[in-house]
């Protein structure tokens, strides 16, 4: 059994998720800093918060993949020992 691909996928998801979270957080921090504050800014901010929550959940799922792969590896090592 090769445990490496799930770990790689999980770590890749973590990296991608953290990068996306940083980008969205920057967008949120910059919201309302322009002089043209109108409804589209509010909509953009709302969408950014939704995107942030989606990325949070995706990143947590990737962390769970890594955690589960680690547990499986530990179990395999215990069985073989």
Note whether residue 2 is domain-resident: no
Residue 4 lies in a domain: no
- DSSP state letter for 48: H
Residue 62 CB contacts under 8 Å (≥ 6 apart), including other chains: 9, 10, 11, 12, 13, 14, 17
State the total domains in the chain.
1
The answer to whether position 70 is within a domain reads: yes
- Maximal C-alpha separation, the chain: 66
In a domain, 65, yes or no: yes
Q: Kindly state whether residue 22 falls inside one of the protein's structural domains.
A: yes
Candidates 60, 50, 52, 72; CA nearest to 14 is 60
Position 3 in a domain:
no
State which residues form the domain around 39: 12-76
pLDDT (tens place) for every residue of the chain, 81 residues total: 676 798 999 999 999 999 999 999 998 888 777 655 555 666 688 899 999 999 999 999 999 999 999 998 888 888 876
Which pTM does this prediction carry? 0.77
Show Cβ contacts of residue 78 under 8 Å, excluding neighbours closer than 6 positions.
none
Instruction: Write down the residue that tokens 């950014």 correspond to.
Output: 48
Please indicate, yes or no, if residue 58 is contained in any of the structural domains: yes
């Amino acid at each position: 059994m090769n445990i490496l691909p799930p770990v790689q996928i999980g770590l890749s998801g973590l990296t991608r998720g953290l990068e996306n979270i940083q980008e969205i957080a920057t967008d949120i921090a910059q919201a309302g800093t322009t002089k043209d504050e109108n409804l589209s800014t509010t909509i953009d901010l709302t969408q950014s918060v939704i995107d942030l929550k989606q990325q949070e959940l995706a990143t947590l799922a990737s962390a769970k993949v890594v955690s589960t792969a680690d547990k499986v590896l530990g179990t395999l090592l215990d069985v073989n020992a």
